[in-house]
Homo-oligomer: A and B are copies of this chain.
Amino acid sequence: MLYPNKIKKDFQKVVNHSNRGMDLESLINEANKYYLLNDLAVIYKKPTPVTISKIKTKDNNAKEVSGYLKQKSTLDYVGLYKGRYLDFDAKSTINKTCLPIANIHPHQLEHIKRIINHQGISFLIIEIKDKYYLLKGEDLLEYIKQGKQKNIAYDYIKEKGIEIKLEINPYLNYLKAIDQLIEGENK
Q: Which residues of A contact B (CB under 8 A)?
A: 36, 39, 41-42, 44, 46-50, 52, 55, 62-70, 74, 78, 80-85, 87, 111, 114-115, 117-120
Contact = CB atoms under 8 A, between A and B. Distances in A.
Given A47-B50, A63-B69, 8 more contacts: A42-B111, A42-B115, A42-B118, A48-B50, A64-B68, A80-B85, A81-B118, A84-B85
How many protomers of this protein does the assembly include?
2
B65 A69 contact: yes
Contacts of A111: 42
B41 A83 contact: no
Closest 9 A-B residue pairs measured CB to CB?
A83-B119, A63-B69, A47-B49, A85-B85, A47-B47, A80-B85, A80-B120, A80-B118, A42-B114
Nearest to A54: B66
A41 B84 contact: no
Given A47-B48, A83-B120, A55 B42 contact: no
User: Quick one: which of A42, A81, A111 has the most chain B CB within 10 A?
Assistant: A42
